[in-house]
Amino acid sequence: MKALLRIMVVLLGLGFIGIQFVPVERTNPVVRADLEAPPGVKSIFKTSCYDCHSHETVWPWYSKIAPVSWLVARDVNHGREYLNFSEWGLMDAEEQIDLAEEIWEEVAEGKMPLAIYLPLHPDAKLNDSQKETIKTWSMRLHEAGIKPPANTGVKQTGSLTVTLQQEDSKEDPDEHEKHHNELD
């Protein structure tokens, strides 16, 4: 009986070592068009969301050990598909507004950040004032992009302004700062 137990432990150990060789996609691709948002908003996203929704994932030591590594990599790769702050600027204004609304919905419903993430990242838990900040940011983007009545065919909308401001801000860091302060 003891011998059998020993064999099982050895097999389990070998199995554990064996699964470490299963390749896991743990990447941090180049940040191409990071979210532009007031610093107060951005720092919340950075602390609470960026590990799963950007190319700036901090991969902790346990994310390198199977089978936990599989779960973490799955959440990150899956999370980036839905929302990737590192590619935010590649979306047009309308997509940004839709996604900002979805962000607020997920936060309001308490679905994000994912519960599984919180025990090891207590800082990521959103308090009421942080939620309020996200709500305000999302609503302002929405208001800036309110579409004209469908029948006018007029294309000049707030969302156009949002796009232009973002392009400006890339060229001129001062202008960018001003824009942030206005929003703050």
Q: Which residues touch 174 (CB under 8 Å, ≥6 apart)?
A: none
Which of 119/153 has CB closer to ligand HEC? 119
Which of 114/144 has CB closer to ligand HEC? 114
34 binds ligand HEC (CB under 6 A): no
By CB under 6 A, name the one of 37, 48, 69, 89 that touches ligand HEC.
48
Region from 1-9, 15-23, 33-41, 99-107 binding ligand HEC, contact rule CB under 6 A: 99-107
Amino acid at 1: M
79 binds ligand HEC (CB under 6 A): yes
145 binds ligand HEC (CB under 6 A): no
Region from 3-11, 25-33, 46-54, 154-162 binding ligand HEC, contact rule CB under 6 A: 46-54
Which DSSP string do the residues of the chain spell out, in sequence order? -HHHHHHHHHHHHHHHHHHTTS----------S-----HHHHHHHHHHTHHHHSS-----GGGGSTTHHHHHHHHHHHHHHH--GGGGGGS-HHHHHHHHHHHHHHHHTT--S-GGGTTT-GGGS--HHHHHHHHHHHHHHHHHTPPPPGGG-----HHHHHHHHHHHHHH-HHHHHHHHHHH-
24 binds ligand HEC (CB under 6 A): no
Region from 14-22, 32-40, 76-84, 150-158 binding ligand HEC, contact rule CB under 6 A: 76-84
By CB under 6 A, name the one of 41, 73, 112, 162 that touches ligand HEC.
112
By CB under 6 A, name the one of 13, 29, 56, 78 that touches ligand HEC.
78
Q: Which residues bind ligand HEC (CB under 6 A)?
A: 48-49, 51-53, 75, 78-79, 82-83, 102-103, 106-107, 112-114, 117
